[in-house]
Chain A
Amino acid sequence: MSARENILNAIARNQPELIDVPVIDQNVIIRYEDKYAQFKAVLESIGGQTELISDVAILKKQLIADKQSGDFVVNAIAELGDIDNQIAEFTAFELEKIEKAYIKGTVGVAENGAVWVFESQMINRLVPFICQHLIVVIAKKDIVDTLHQAYDKIDVSREGFGVFIAGPSKTADIEQSLVIGAHGARSAKIYVIE
């Protein structure tokens, strides 16, 4: 018998009697009066930044200035100009030079400051991790109270990869001292469009 059959048979033999699936009553779950305010407070407490803007086009000027600075800046937001599709084929060695990346998110989560980003929103899976500074844009109406509503809104298997990002990369592995900028982005700023 193969390992697979051995394992599955042993489990089938040893697992307890079938138990019902629990019912998750979302009525008992915390709600926030002002989801954006909660999102902002939590995100800032974990090292991220956020700003409310009236229109995504406001970021156009900033993107142009960033690109003109000579730094390697990646844009993945159609409303801001051409999307840098060429980086889809870039190697990690090349992507490691990214100073800043502009990407869109799908859902923001008030309870923990996380933003869901689909693979299609990041051009290349490495982008939100390997860039030095990350900018994510979400709509205010897409901020939900908790992860329960977030998972209701997204189909995690729609694409090959997706991620909740909550603030910048960090570590406290040296004597529990919090250091921002472990391996991933050193800063994460979330622009929320009203």
Chain B
Amino acid sequence: MKITHDALAEKFIADEPRTDWHDETLWFVRAKRDKAAHGLPEWEQLREWGSQIKNRTLSNLSNYLIEFEKNALANGIKVHWASDAKEHNEIVHEIIKKHKIQKIVKSKSMLTEECHLNEYLHHHGIEVVDTDLGERIVQFRKEPPSHIVLPAIHLKKEDVSATFHEHLQTEKGNNDPQYLTEAARQHLRNKFVESDLAITGVNFAIAETGGFVVCTNEGNADMGAHTAKVHIACMGFEKLIPKAEDLSVFLRLLARSATGQPITTYSSHFHKPRPNQEMHIVIVDNGRSKQLGREDFRNSLKCIRCAACFNTCPVYRRSGGHSYHTAVAGPIGSILNPNLDMKANADLPFASTLCGSCSNVCPVKINIHEQLWKWRQVIVSEGYVATGKKVGMKGASFLFSNPKMYRLIGKIGRWGMRAFPLMINNKANPWFKQREMPEAPKESFRDWYLKNGKNKS
């Protein structure tokens, strides 16, 4: 059976205290974002600049990519191009094979999650150690990250403690985050110093200089990249920005929007490999050029992956990242994923209340909630909604456009709800789930208005 957001969310919310805890934890991050944003009087102007720079970039992307490639090559970086996930994985695999490498560390890269690189390499007998603490935790548990910035946000410290007890032999029942982080530090430092190859993501690639920037708080990207004799940085082509000075706008926006920090601990600018080091960049399309051609949806490519839209989303906070069944969850994922596979992800644009909070916090002003609404229309017209919903909507449309019929059905409905409440208050009615149905009024507002409202005016 097809996996859908509502079915997975139902599993998630079965544990009510945990759902509340998840909701509050994410809201806490959102509150930190607000505090950081309000600390800058020019915040809204900054968002506007971020948005405009990205608009400019998308409008001149082919030239910027050519400029970036030229400058990166001049810097001694090897540049690869991958049309899709398969090509991306093959390119990385080829580099690993060429160097006969066994020890690989990887810092956070949502692109490699999107391409399922770890699974691909595992299938070819190559193991990759994820080095971001949250990613290492979920990797031990054989789970995907549930959040693009906070990969293990769905887990409690007791869960992490049990996982580390199993894999790192930490004390059973010791739930102290300090103790658990220290255990991971020791474990991963060993992995870093013996690594031969490091894979990192890219936060920003600079056309003007042919370099790229990677942001972390933990320092894991640097520990890997500066140790290994081969560094592969993987990026979707939309990571490009025109100039180095544009970084001032984006680095000011990124961490404040993501976690409420003024900047990440490390913002590392890579331009040339070390002596005797090989540095590769893999530039990936994987559906992005198609999205660029969809006028209504191309703005989604402005995303800088801060996850502010996740933290603010009332649906994400109460359904968890795994319910989105894709590498990038949350509101932004719900407008990116239908482009990758409309049929498999047809449910996602409906996993929203369209409240618009995502668009309000987006640091590059993507009209996320409008795109969710537009995707719904595309998905329905392409025939990717369940028959029940389609018939229901058609019925509602008929009803609402026929006032006489509407009044008649309303009357029957009100009478029915009073006379036979069980007809509505039963499990076959999806609206009855977790809801008390309202008591039906004796008369409709229209009837009341005809009697009272009109006379008084």
Residue numbers of A with Cβ under 8 A of B are: 2-4, 6-8, 10-22, 24, 28-30, 42, 46, 91-93, 96, 109, 111-114, 124-126, 129-130, 146-148, 150-152, 155-157, 159-177, 179, 181-185
Other-chain residue from B87, B248, B293 in contact with A147 (beta carbon distance below 8 A): B248
When distances are taken between beta carbons in the complex, the residues of chain A under 8 Å from B153 are: 176
Other-chain residue from B59, B185, B248 in contact with A146 (beta carbon distance below 8 A): B248
Is B343 among interface residues, defined by CB-CB distance under 8 A? no
Q: Do A163 and B133 have beta carbons less than 8 Å apart? A: no
Other-chain residue from A13, A91, A112, A161 in contact with B293 (beta carbon distance below 8 A): A13
Given A7-B289, A172-B259: A150 and B242 within 8 A (CB)? Answer: no
Q: Enumerate 7 A-B pairs (CB-CB under 8 Å) in ascending A order.
A: A12-B62, A14-B298, A16-B58, A46-B262, A157-B244, A173-B152, A183-B219
Q: Do A171 and B218 have beta carbons less than 8 Å apart? A: yes
Beyond contacts A112-B262, A170-B265, A171-B134: 18 other A-B pairs, Cβ-Cβ < 8 A, are A10-B290, A14-B292, A16-B295, A20-B56, A22-B48, A113-B262, A147-B248, A160-B270, A161-B272, A162-B269, A163-B266, A163-B269, A166-B262, A166-B265, A169-B218, A172-B259, A174-B155, A175-B157
When distances are taken between beta carbons in the complex, the residues of chain B under 8 Å from A146 are: 248, 252
When distances are taken between beta carbons in the complex, the residues of chain A under 8 Å from B211 are: 156-157
Q: Do B247 and A147 have beta carbons less than 8 Å apart? A: yes
Residue numbers of B with Cβ under 8 A of A are: 25, 28-29, 40-42, 45, 48-49, 52-53, 55-56, 58-62, 65-66, 75, 81-83, 87, 131-134, 137, 150-153, 155-157, 160, 177-178, 180-182, 184-185, 188-189, 192-194, 206, 209-211, 217-220, 222-223, 226-227, 237, 242, 244-245, 247-249, 251-252, 259, 261-274, 283, 285, 289-290, 292-293, 295, 298
Other-chain residue from A15, A114, A130, A161 in contact with B292 (beta carbon distance below 8 A): A15
Q: How far is the CA of A166 from the CA of B219 in the complex (A)?
A: 11
Q: Do B56 and A19 have beta carbons less than 8 Å apart? A: yes
Given A14-B290, A126-B226: A165 and B266 within 8 A (CB)? Answer: yes
Q: Do B266 and A184 have beta carbons less than 8 Å apart? A: yes
Q: How far is the CA of A28 from the CA of B48 in the complex (A)?
A: 13
Q: Do A2 and B181 have beta carbons less than 8 Å apart? A: no
Name which residue of chain A comes closest to B87, CB basis.
A3
Other-chain residue from A15, A18, A183 in contact with B188 (beta carbon distance below 8 A): A183
Q: How far is the CA of A110 from the CA of B210 in the complex (A)?
A: 28
Q: Do B263 and A175 have beta carbons less than 8 Å apart? A: no
- Give the distance to chain A from B137, nearest Cβ to Cβ, in Å: 7
Q: Do B226 and A129 have beta carbons less than 8 Å apart? A: yes
When distances are taken between beta carbons in the complex, the residues of chain B under 8 Å from A17 are: 59
Q: How far is the CA of A15 from the CA of B182 in the complex (A)?
A: 47
Q: Do B133 and A182 have beta carbons less than 8 Å apart? A: yes
When distances are taken between beta carbons in the complex, the residues of chain A under 8 Å from B42 are: 28-30
When distances are taken between beta carbons in the complex, the residues of chain B under 8 Å from A162 are: 268-269, 271
Q: Do A183 and B65 have beta carbons less than 8 Å apart? A: no
When distances are taken between beta carbons in the complex, the residues of chain A under 8 Å from B293 are: 10, 13-14
Q: Do A163 and B222 have beta carbons less than 8 Å apart? A: yes
- Give the distance to chain B from A113, nearest Cβ to Cβ, in Å: 7
Q: Do B56 and A21 have beta carbons less than 8 Å apart? A: yes
Given A10-B285, A30-B41, A175-B157: A184 and B248 within 8 A (CB)? Answer: no
Q: Do A18 and B60 have beta carbons less than 8 Å apart? A: yes
Given A8-B65, A16-B58, A28-B45: A176 and B29 within 8 A (CB)? Answer: yes
Name which residue of chain B comes closest to A169, CB basis.
B219
When distances are taken between beta carbons in the complex, the residues of chain B under 8 Å from A91 are: 193
Q: Do A4 and B81 have beta carbons less than 8 Å apart? A: yes
When distances are taken between beta carbons in the complex, the residues of chain B under 8 Å from A6 are: 83, 285
Q: Do A129 and B266 have beta carbons less than 8 Å apart? A: yes
- Give the distance to chain A from B213, nearest Cβ to Cβ, in Å: 8
Q: How far is the CA of A125 from the CA of B132 in the complex (A)?
A: 19
Given A129-B266, A148-B248, A156-B269: A30 and B134 within 8 A (CB)? Answer: no
Q: Do A175 and B156 have beta carbons less than 8 Å apart? A: yes
Given A21-B56, A168-B265: A129 and B223 within 8 A (CB)? Answer: yes
Other-chain residue from A125, A174, A185 in contact with B274 (beta carbon distance below 8 A): A125
In the complex, the 8 A-B pairs of residues with the closest C-beta atoms, listed nearest first: A184-B219, A14-B293, A160-B272, A112-B262, A182-B218, A173-B134, A10-B289, A22-B52
- Give the distance to chain B from A10, nearest Cβ to Cβ, in Å: 4
- Give the distance to chain A from B198, nearest Cβ to Cβ, in Å: 11
- Give the distance to chain B from A91, nearest Cβ to Cβ, in Å: 8
Q: Do A182 and B81 have beta carbons less than 8 Å apart? A: no
Q: How far is the CA of A162 from the CA of B270 in the complex (A)?
A: 7
Name which residue of chain A comes closest to B164, CB basis.
A174
Q: Do A125 and B226 have beta carbons less than 8 Å apart? A: yes
Q: Do A147 and B251 have beta carbons less than 8 Å apart? A: yes
Q: Do B181 and A181 have beta carbons less than 8 Å apart? A: yes
Q: How far is the CA of A188 from the CA of B40 in the complex (A)?
A: 25
